[in-house]
Amino acid sequence: MIVIEKANYKGNPNVGIYVFATDRYALIPFDADEKFSNLISRVLQVPVIKASIADTGLLGIFVVGNNKGLLLPQLVKDWELRLIKSSIDLSIGVVKSRYTALGNICLVNDRAALIHPEAYDDLKKIVVDVLDVEIVEKGIIAGFSTVGSIAFVNNIAGLVHPEASDKEVEYLSNVFQVPFDIGTVNFGVGFIKSGLIGNTKGIIVGDRTTGPELLRIGKVFRVATS
């Protein structure tokens, strides 16, 4: 079993906005303090890399990836791209599209990707080439086209907005080949990505996440609270 812990980023419970993680590394903002950096490293059991996109720390919003590759938006600056490339030994691609909030419009694990329908044509090829997934589909879940913002998935399981129907939950489970369930973070927030950071080694949720929410997340991802 893996561990789940609660945290905030400079008092903000929306930790998933600022951090992106896989089983191989975590990207965190330059102004993250040592305590936060150590927490990410300890719970997720990965090296921590300080980075930025367009001079911001909104890494969870701007990037998307899996254990095979990483995609960055075209607004990434040259020096930021060089830093990330020098720190991560993976395939890295820059998406030439007006859609820049890649973390909000793509939901990805090592097997599959689900993409915002209007961004699908822009992203499909580079998602296949860089992230090396078997399946790339477009869709709307629970009425939201920003599919990356309303769910989190890894190679163990997935959690999605509570307004997702049973049919949509089943669809996600079939596409990503992991069990999905509905849930919330940070006291009823259905935008799962905003309040959850994770990989197959650990999960970090916003510190406003309630006991019942933790229990549901723990059941889905087979984690142990600490």
Question: How many Cβ atoms from other residues are within 10 Å of residue 169's Cβ?
Answer: 18
Residue-by-residue DSSP string for 26-38: EEEETT--HHHHH
Give the pLDDT mean for 195-206: 97
Say what the pLDDT of residue 225 is.
Answer: 47
Give the pLDDT mean for 75-90: 97
Q: Residue 224: is its pLDDT beyond 90?
A: no
CA distances from 215 to 23, 32, 184 (A): 23, 28, 11
Give the pLDDT confidence of 30-56 residue by residue, as tens digits.
999 999 999 999 999 999 999 999 999
Q: Tokens at residue 189, please?
A: 């927030």
Cα separation of 215 and 224, whole Å?
9
Average pLDDT, the chain: 97
Q: Pick 224 or 184 by higher pLDDT.
A: 184
Give the pLDDT mean for 183-207: 98
Q: Residue 223: is its pLDDT beyond 80?
A: no
Please report which confidence band the pLDDT of residue 5 belongs to, taking 50, 70 and 90 as the band edges: very high
Say what the pLDDT of residue 165 is.
Answer: 98
Q: Tokens at residue 110, please?
A: 């090592």
Give the pLDDT confidence of 104-119 residue by residue, as tens digits.
999 999 999 999 999 9
Is pTM, for the whole model, over 0.95? yes
CB contact at 8 A, 160 and 151: yes
Q: What percent of the chain shows pLDDT beyond 90? A: 97
Third-level CATH fold of 2-225: L-arginine/glycine Amidinotransferase; Chain A (3.75.10)
Give the pLDDT confidence of 6-31 residue by residue, as tens digits.
999 999 999 999 999 999 999 999 99
Q: Residue 157: is its pLDDT beyond 70?
A: yes
Cα separation of 220 and 157, whole Å?
6
Indicate the burial class of 137 (C-beta count within 10 angstroms; 0-12, 13-18, 19 or more).
middle
Quick one: which of 21, 160, 39, 27 has its CA closest to 81? 27
